[in-house]
Amino acid sequence: MSFFLYAATFFILVVLGAVALGVQIWAVSDCLRTPASDFQRVYKRSKQFWGGLTGVSAFFGFLYLLPAAASLTAPDMGMLMLINMAGATVAGVYLADVRPALAEVRGRGRGNQSRGSSW
């Protein structure tokens, strides 16, 4: 593989891995800051469930980027990449489904907007 192709592959995989890790850390930090009672009030799974899933996803996101940081080799495109993609999906589901429901319970959701057009 030529140097430029390797460098482009390295850059793309590291940037995508870093974005995924950022989303995973955002999800786990939001989950840990939310009280457990809020999860029960919106009829979602428990805080321990989401905390465990998002925590494991952030751990695998870190493991995915570890080879790139240690020895400047491209991250693995095998099983670890698939696990990291699954972890990013878990974090995305939390941020797209659970977090908005929790925000409505906390009073920061759509229900607190002033009356009028949403445009």
| 70-108 pLDDT tens trace | 776 666 677 888 898 999 999 999 999 999 999 888 876
* CB-count exposure of residue 102 (10 Å: 0-12, 13-18, 19+): buried
Give the pLDDT band of residue 115 (cuts 50, 70, 90).
very low
Higher pLDDT, 72 or 22: 22
Query: Residue length, the chain?
Result: 119
CA gap 66, 75 in Å, rounded: 8
Is it the case that residue 117 has pLDDT exceeding 60? no
pTM of the complete model: 0.79
CA gap 41, 100 in Å, rounded: 13
Is it the case that residue 29 has pLDDT exceeding 90? yes
